[in-house]
Structure formats: C-alpha cells, structure tokens
C-alpha cells in the first residue's frame, strides 16, 4: 500500500475533530541529557503535521523539564514560586522551537502564553484561541496556567477543556500505562483501558492528581501512547495501534 493510500485511509477513519497533544520537555532532548535536540523536535513536528494534514484541529502543551523543572529547583533550595516561573519560561522556549519546526513545514501556528510577552507570543484569550483552531492553525499553549504550583499536565487538561477538545493525547517513552515501570520490571503489564479512579488510587503516574481529577470531572479521555512509533499518532487517531485509554 502506498503512503498516499495510507493517508486516505487514516483520513476516512479518523473520528476525532479536535485534540490536545501533551508532550514532556524531556521528549525534545532526544538522547541528550539536557536542552533541545533539533532532529527530535523535527521528528515530532512531522508527527503533528501528519495529524494536521488529516484535517484534525490540534493544540499542544509542551513541558519544560529539558531546560528547567520548578520542583527540582525548589528541592535544591530555590523559592518554589520563583522556580515555577522559571519552569514556565522554559516551556515558552520549547513552544517557540516547535513553532519554528512546524512553520518550516508550512503549518501555520500560534504560540499562546499564559504570561504576557507580546514580543514572542500571543496572550491567552480563549475565544481567540478557539478561532485559531477553527482556521486550522496549530495552537501551542505555553507558560502553563500562568500560576505556580500547577504542572503542565494540569495546564494541558485545563486548556483541553476550554478548547472543547475531544481527548488528550499524552506522548511518552512507552506505549501506554503499565502497572509498574516496564523499563525496570519485565513482568510489567500494560492496560488497554483504565479508569481515572484507578489511576489515582494505584498512583500509576499518568498525570498528576489535579490533572486526572479535572479530566474525570469533565469526562475527558486521556490516551497514552509512545512518541517513538513512526506515524503512531495518526494510527491511534484512527483507532489503531497500541495505547492505553484512561476514561470514566
């Protein structure tokens, strides 16, 4: 089967119209121990473009852990609020890197920041962001919620609800949610489906507790998949591939 027929098949079967893609900052650093790895950013941007080409409206939240993580800074003696604001600025840097990679491919994007910085990003205005999605622009939400003590997982869930997304797709290093770390335990078992309450009760580490609770309260499914699978996101949008669905 040629790639064009595969694309056509994906498009005919895709049921999602608007989704949130949440990826960690660490996903952008490739095999490096720190910072941005341009080929990795490019590869993830190609995945996003493939989804965009299907006609799916897509928004993104990218963490900042490859540059600075507020909680770790706080653990080393830095005042927590200051450390969290530094982490928010790291997410803006990652968002700009992703914007650059996408626009090199001809995908129109908007970086939308919860902290006002008009020279590099738009301020967050919900109606304007929704309009960008309707115009088939990829919206990259940066600077978390704009508040300390909240993670980018919570920011992604909040923005997904505000944008009326049909699901959150969380890209990780593994192909779903396991009962224990599959990189450490050979007998780890993957869930095809798991409830919000089980994620919280068993501390499965999908997202932090506030993000899971917010998704549960609004019945917003979370789909956990591997970013390392080529065109994996397109297949999962069409209901194929290996992933875990967190739902009610």
**For every one of its 248 residues, what pLDDT tens digit does the chain have, with 9 covering 90 and above?**
344 444 444 444 668 999 999 999 999 998 888 999 999 999 999 999 999 999 999 999 999 999 987 777 777 889 999 999 999 999 999 999 999 999 999 999 999 999 999 999 999 999 999 999 999 999 999 999 999 999 999 999 999 999 999 999 999 989 999 999 888 999 999 999 999 999 999 999 899 999 999 999 999 999 999 998 888 899 888 878 899 999 98
Q: What is the model's pLDDT at position 3?
A: 42
Q: How far apart are CA 194 and CA 121, in angstroms?
A: 37
Is residue 14 within 8 A of residue 54, CB to CB? The reply is yes
Q: What is the model's pLDDT at position 106?
A: 97
Interhelix angle 38-53/80-104, rounded to 10 degrees, is 60
Tokens of 5: 């027929």
Pick the CATH number of 3-247 from 3.90.1140.10, 3.40.50.280, 3.40.630.10, 3.40.1160.10: 3.40.1160.10
Question: DSSP letter at 32?
Answer: S
Q: How far apart are CA 34 and CA 53, in angstroms?
A: 31
Distances in Å between the Cα of 54 and the Cα atoms of 8, 64, 100 are 8, 28, 21
- Report the chain's C-alpha Rg in angstroms: 17
Token look-up 């499965």 returns 204
Q: What is the model's pLDDT at position 13?
A: 61
Domain boundaries, the chain: 3-247
CB atoms inside a 10 Å sphere around CB 105: 13
Q: What is the DSSP pairing of strand 109-113 with strand 138-142?
A: parallel
């Amino acid at each position: 089967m040629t790639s064009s027929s595969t694309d056509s098949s994906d498009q005919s079967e895709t049921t999602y119209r608007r989704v949130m893609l949440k990826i960690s900052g660490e996903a952008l650093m490739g095999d490096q121990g720190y910072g941005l790895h341009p080929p990795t950013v490019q590869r993830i941007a190609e995945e996003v473009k493939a989804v965009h080409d299907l006609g799916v409206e897509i928004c993104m939240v990218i963490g900042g852990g490859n540059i600075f993580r507020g909680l770790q800074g706080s653990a080393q003696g830095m005042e927590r609020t200051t450390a969290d604001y530094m982490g928010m600025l790291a997410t803006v840097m990652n968002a700009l890197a992703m914007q650059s990679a996408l626009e090199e491919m001809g995908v129109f994007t908007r970086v939308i920041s919860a902290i006002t910085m008009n020279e590099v990003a738009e301020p967050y205005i919900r109606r304007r962001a929704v309009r960008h999605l309707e115009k088939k622009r990829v919206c990259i939400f940066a600077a978390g919620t704009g508040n300390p003590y909240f993670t980018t997982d919570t920011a992604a869930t909040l923005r997904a609800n505000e944008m009326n997304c049909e699901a959150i797709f969380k890209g990780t290093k593994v192909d779903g949610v396991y009962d224990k770390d599959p990189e450490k335990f050979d007998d780890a078992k993957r869930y095809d489906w798991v409830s919000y309450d089980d994620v919280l009760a068993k501390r499965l580490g999908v997202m932090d507790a506030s993000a899971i609770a917010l998704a549960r309260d609004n019945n917003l499914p979370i789909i956990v998949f591997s970013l390392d699978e080529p065109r994996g996101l397109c297949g999962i949008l069409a209901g194929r591939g290996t992933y875990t669905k967190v739902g009610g």
